[in-house]
Structure 1
Amino acid sequence: MNVYSRIFVTAKKHGMSIKELARKAQIGENSIYRWKTIKPSTQSLTKVARQLHVSTDYLLGQEESSNKKDCLDIADKNAQLLYEGQHVPEKYVNMLRFIMEEDRAEKTKTSKN
Structure 2
Amino acid sequence: MEDEILITCALRFDGHKYQQQTGFDAKKAIDSFFSNQQWGLRPLELLATFFLLQRSLYKYDLQYEPKDSNFRKVFRSLFFECVDLDIPEEYQQKEYVQAWDSQYKPDLENVKNIVKTNY
TM-score by length of 1: 0.29
Larger radius of gyration: 1
Higher relative contact order (CA 8 A, sep 6+): 2
- Which structure dedicates a bigger proportion of its chain to helix? 2
